[in-house]
Structure 1
Amino acid sequence: MKKSTLLNSDVTYLVSTLGHTDEITICDAGLPIPDQVTRIDLALTHGVPSFIDTVRVILSETQIEGVVMAEEFARVSPELHQELLKELELEQARSGKTISTEYISHEEFKQQTQQSRAVVRTGECTPYANVIFQSGVVF
């Protein structure tokens, strides 16, 4: 049995095959997922798994160099947005690498998900709880 934090085989495969600048999206239960993008559906029920728990596990296994969020996230769901920023700060401290942050409109965000290698759907029901992670390198 796998010993590290990430146990889901689809997410493990995704993380292990990411290259520099590849993008993955972690989303709430309501974000539309483009047909041509791989869907990894973790949602079991409202709030399970949560967006922030999923983010923590992905960050524990993946080197991130950039983050894209919808502008609406900070305005409409400020508490969860702040939790995400705190996790990103912790990751920067752990890795010693800077993580750039970009805000775009929700409509632009939905368009950009089309470039993701996969979209990981959580059970989160907080509005705009979505993030695109851009993969970095560990060296």
Structure 2
Amino acid sequence: MKKHGHLNRDVARILAGMGHTDSLVIADCGLPIPPGVECIDLALQLGQPGFAAVLDSILADFQCERAVFAIECRQHNPAVLAQAEAIAQQGVALDFVSHEEFKQRCLAARAVIRTGECTPYANVILHSGVIF
């Protein structure tokens, strides 16, 4: 049994298989999952686990070079906007696109990690960087 990192075997498998520029989505419980994109469903109940906890956990174990958020979070979800700004402080490039464009970009993701988050626009697409 693993002692460190992600205990969820599907999350660990996806992270281990990510290559440069591959994308991974962390989603609230309402984001539609595109057909053919793997969904790792962590949702237990409304709000659990939350978007912030899952994002922090993934970023602790994942080399991220770019993060994409829905521009609507600027007006409708200040907590998610604050998380975006914190990610930028760590040197990650940020992009903001319309929610419709965001959903289209999810089609190219390796997987969607579905949280129990139930606030609007609590979604991000993370693009893999390299560790060298």
**Alignment TM-score, normalising by the size of structure 2:** 0.96
**Residue of 98, 101, 107 corresponding to 1:108:** 101
Secondary structure of the corresponding residue to residue 69 of structure 1: strand
**Alignment TM-score, normalising by the size of structure 1:** 0.91
Secondary structure of the corresponding residue to residue 72 of structure 2: helix
Alpha carbons of structure 1 residues 84 and 4: separation in structure 2 relative to 1, 3 Å: farther
Structure 2 Cα separation of the partners of residues 119 and 53 of structure 1: 16
Which residue is equivalent to 2:79? Answer: 79
Task: Kindly provide the CA deviation profile for residues 65-97 of structure 1, in whole angstroms up to 9, marking residues without a partner as x.
Answer: 0000100012101123213432x156x2xxxxx
Secondary structure of the corresponding residue to residue 40 of structure 2: strand
Measured after TM superposition, the shift of residue 5 of structure 1 is: 3.2
**Count, aligned residues:** 132
Q: Within 5 Å, which residues of 2 pair with 1:92-131? A: 92=90, 98-131=91-124
The Cα RMSD (Å) is: 1.1
Unaligned stretches of 5+ residues in structure 1: 93-97
Runs of 4+ in 1 over 4 A off after TM superposition: none
Structure 1 Cα separation of the partners of residues 79 and 27 of structure 2: 16
Structure 1 Cα separation of the partners of residues 7 and 83 of structure 2: 23
Secondary structure of the corresponding residue to residue 112 of structure 2: strand
Structure 2 Cα separation of the partners of residues 6 and 81 of structure 1: 25
Structure 1 Cα separation of the partners of residues 52 and 111 of structure 2: 18
Unaligned stretches of 5+ residues in structure 2: none
Measured after TM superposition, the shift of residue 3 of structure 1 is: 1.3
Q: Within 5 Å, which residues of 2 pair with 1:54-73? A: 54-73=54-73
Secondary structure of the corresponding residue to residue 61 of structure 1: coil
CA contact (8 A) 2:42 2:114 kept: yes
Which residue is equivalent to 2:50? Answer: 50
1:117 alignment partner AA = R
Secondary structure of the corresponding residue to residue 120 of structure 2: coil
Structure 2 Cα separation of the partners of residues 84 and 3 of structure 1: 29
Measured after TM superposition, the shift of residue 13 of structure 1 is: 0.2
Measured after TM superposition, the shift of residue 35 of structure 1 is: 1.0
